[in-house]
Structure 1
Amino acid sequence: MSNSGSIKLNESLKTISSTTVSEVYVNNYKWLVNMLNKKLSCPQKSADLAQDTFIRILSSQNIFYISEAKAILTTISKGLLVDYYRRQTIEATYRSALTYLPEAQTPSPEEKAIVLDTLFEIDRMLDCLPSKARTVFLLSQLDGLTYPEIAEKLNISLSSVQKHMTQTFLACYAIRYQGDK
């Protein structure tokens, strides 16, 4: 902790004063869990998200001031809450789609987990794209439109459609091969 009351959080946990982090945790953990529980109505999930919030702070390379602890915790936890709700929506939609499959074609629990992880990765990738690229990709892949049809529908050039698809495929490639480095 410096004289200004800040905590420098970086990749090396050794540089973090454990008493300072402990102080922030002890002083704010119950408050954060209660705040999250008001939104989730599930104490266990609220506790999990509170822990994830502190993990995000610990793994951050930003400087945080102790006086801003609640604001920072609130901001990070709200982002995690949004991610949680998105994951819940994706999972519910997937499980609903599975009900239309014949029992013989129902995937195993392991296959379901793999598909859900893939769907979560695709969702994160799409969320990082500019809206036009995301729209072009979805029109192509989900609606089955050709590039000329997309260009006409969105009133953009064919080369713009190709540029957006290239951008999206590069993002897909990066996700696919990120662990193979």
Structure 2
Amino acid sequence: MENILALSNQSISDAYAQYARSIFLYIYYKTEDEELAHDLVQDTFLRLISYRGEICFHTVKHLLFIIARNLVNDYLRRYYRTQEVMDELYENTKSEVCEMESSLYAEELSACEREAVAQLPARRRRVYELIRFEGEDTAGIAEMLNLSQRTVENHLRMGRAEVRSYIRQCI
């Protein structure tokens, strides 16, 4: 019966003196975080103190490493779960921000385009609006405005050039 270790302050101190460094190195190897390794070594020995079963002197080391392994596994499980949640939040936030930025940018460009179109001469503005905003084709506009198709194309080309030039100044 002398092999059965009753947990006393002295036996815990002896186990700590003998195995704390090995357990620290094991945990540090798994986590690569020195502060965390120190904390988990402390938690390992606290769990040993609260252990209520009988411990054989030769199995204390194995019990300590089992406790340490379980603590590391629990920590890593929580860590990776947290990372997954954070990654998902980051991705969602990033895409929402990109969408919001794109939307604001598109609104600014649209406002800039409207300002540029308002400055076009009347006939050029009408041709540009019919093509751009109402989806008409050049043949339909030529007939509607009683112009040649070539004249409509020229108004459209000049209108687009003026709008592009104005938008470049806005940007």
Q: TM-score, normalised by structure 2?
A: 0.50
Task: Tell which structure's C-alpha radius of gyration is larger.
Answer: 2
